[in-house]
Amino acid sequence: MDAQEKVRLLVPPGWSKNAGRTWPALWLLHGGVDDYTAWTRGTDVAALTADSPVIVVMPEGGSCGNYSDWWNYGNGGSPEWETFHMKELRTILENGYRANGRRVIAGNSMGGLGAMLYAARFPGMFAAAAAFSGYVDTLYGYTPGDDSIGWGPSFSCPGTDWRRVWGAPDAQAAIWHAHNPTDLAGRLAGVRLYVASGNGTAGSLGGLPFTDPVEAAANDVSHAFVDRLDALGIPVTARFFDGQHSWPYWQRDLHDAYPMLMRALGVS
């Protein structure tokens, strides 16, 4: 990463670095234009998991990191978010924090992309994956020659050259397809899956008095992703509702998905 990065951990009752046992882990990935403090700041995850025998892992993922090793015009190098999380952080957790090889993963918005990406790109790494308002079809609506699909990071993070991430969708098509959960859906067979999204309108938890375009877009790609899983015969729990791109809905999603995530870890 060419820098120090932070990770917030919530440890279970009885945990210590010198314990004679290990614990499974719940990874929670944050969304864009946010950081590793997002889940404890935006939800009651600390209270929700307080009595669960799991380590909650909330790593920094960058404002617009896209949970990927960046292409950087063919030069590679920093930032390498995927390598940081899947190799370096995983090793640190297992060697120094008593984590074992049982893991599940969830995330909101950009973190939903990351959750499905990591589960698909590293088969067997995660027993379950959940995406809340996730951008899980990164090529949704794309037509060859239309580079506008890549401008999201530039709008969210002014000054970001979005081509550094995966390149241009035409010239570097293979990189884009290799980082699109919908293209990788077949690799999720055997993973317990949960997908949730609002339609952009204010639901029971309130919100903007008009349709939220960010959530409406997430809803479109979530439907496309679920449709692909259905076509492949891969089971998925899907929740679609009136709701917007905000923490009250993501907290509800987390509570709804939590029993499934814990079952996948073999804990109650």
pLDDT tens digits along 187-222: 999 999 999 999 999 999 999 999 999 999 999 999
- Largest separation between any pair of C-alpha atoms in the chain: 57
pLDDT in tens, 208-259: 999 999 999 999 999 999 999 999 999 999 999 999 999 999 999 999 999 9
Which domains can be identified in the chain, with CATH numbers?
7-265 (3.40.50.1820)
How many Cβ atoms are within 10 Å of 11's Cβ, its own excluded?
16
pLDDT in tens, 96-148: 999 999 999 999 999 999 999 999 999 999 999 999 999 999 999 998 887 77
| 159: pLDDT strictly greater than 80 | no
> For the purposes of burial, counting CB atoms within 10 Å of the CB of 146, is it exposed (0-12), middle (13-18) or buried (19 or more)?
exposed
Number of alpha carbons in the 13 Å side-chain half-sphere of residue 6: 7
Among the listed residues 115, 110, 137, the one whose alpha carbon sits nearest the alpha carbon of residue 125: 115
Instruction: Scan for tokens 């210590």, then name that residue.
Output: 16
Beta strands 128-132; 192-198: pairing state: parallel
CA distance 104 to 260: 10
pLDDT in tens, 41-100: 999 999 999 999 999 999 999 999 999 999 999 999 999 999 999 999 999 999 999 999
Q: What is the DSSP string of 66-103?
A: TTSB--GGGT--S-BHHHIIIIIIHHHHHHHS-EEEEE
* Exposed e or buried b per residue across 235-268, where buried means at least 16 C-beta atoms within 10 angstroms of its C-beta: ebebbebebbbbbbbbbbbbeebbebbbebbeee
pTM of the model: 0.97
